[in-house]
Amino acid sequence: DIQMTQSPSTLSASVGDRVTITCRASESISNRLAWYQQKPGKAPKLLIYMASSLESGVPSRFSGSGSGTEFTLTVSSLQPEDFATYYCQQYKSYSVTFGGGTKVETK
Amino acid sequence: EVQLLESGGDLAQPGESLRLSCVASGFAFGTYAMSWVRQAPGKGLEWLSAISGDTTGIYYADSVKGRFTISRDNSKDTLYLQMNSLRADDTAIYYCVKYKGNPPFFDVWGQGTMVTVSS
């Protein structure tokens, strides 16, 4: 199975900060990577697919980059509604795997 | 609007069985692969199983292979997860998820249904 490692596991930030989350795959997954946002008590929400494609309706302050084994999710200017947990996911096949999550909390 | 509505979550004793259902609306259900993902309390996301639109492709995580069975009824726009021999570590919120694209990724999630396994 492909292992996905996210860092950091927790990130303290303030409104307006530029935030970057990293995800590493145990083998090359090309650009088959998605990012999800999950708020407490809610289902995850798709933000980014194919490593850098923004899902419809997602604010442009979210962006993704990377290919192969290393990927990043960047929030250019953190908004109050962005405090949440973020997960990366590889989808090289139907048998997907998720990173452990990054909780973005208020500094 | 695309919607997925899960049901069937309950309190079960170890060794018992439960069947989860997920009713889809707002899209051509039979043309999309579907999946189940769970999240234990305070933990991350775990993919469990997937089924292609025409049911020719079925996949399981090792953690549930042999105990859980995924199926679908395209005439009823419904996805199922039969869970047998339940264990305490199956306690989680179970999400029904729709795939999109090729290769497929998840684009729509249900609200989840809670399964608690405890004596």
pLDDT digits (tens, 9 = 90+) for B23-75: 999 999 999 999 999 999 999 999 999 999 999 999 999 999 999 999 999 99
Question: What average pLDDT does the structure give for chain B?
Answer: 96
Sheet arrangement for strand B68-73: B3-7, B18-25, B78-83, B68-73
Q: Which residue in this structure is represented by tokens 């069937």?
A: B8
pLDDT of residue B10: 95
pLDDT of residue A92: 87
Nearest chain A Cα to B111, which residue? A43
How much of chain B, in percent, has pLDDT values that exceed 90?
A: 97
pLDDT in tens, chain A (107 residues): 899 999 999 999 999 999 999 999 999 999 999 999 999 999 999 999 999 999 999 999 999 999 999 999 999 999 999 999 999 999 988 889 999 999 999 99
* Chain B hits for A21, Cβ within 8 Å: none
| Average pLDDT score over residue span B92-103 | 92
Do residues A91 and A2 make contact, with C-beta atoms less than 8 angstroms apart?
A: no
Long-range own/partner contacts, residues B68-73 (CB < 8 A, 24 or more apart): B68/B36, B70/B36, B72/B29, B72/B34
Cα Dmax for chain A: 38
Of B44, B100, B104, which is closest to A98 when you measure between CB atoms? B44
CA dihedral B29, A99, A5, B60 (to 10 degrees): -60
Alpha-carbon gap, residue A44 to A32, rounded angstroms: 18
Residues 6+ apart with CB under 8 A from A107: A12, A13, A14, A17
Q: B interface mutation test: which of A94, A95, A97, A103 has the most B CBs within 10 A?
A: A94
Instruction: Please give the single-letter amino acid code of residue A65.
Output: S
Q: A interface mutation test: which of B34, B46, B105, B114 has the most A CBs within 10 A?
A: B105
The H or E element containing residue B78 is strand B78-83
| Average pLDDT score over residue span B10-34 | 97
pLDDT of residue A36: 98
Phi-psi region of A85 (alpha: psi -120 to 50; beta: other; left: phi over 0): beta
Could you tell me the pLDDT band of residue B91, with boundaries at 50, 70 and 90?
very high
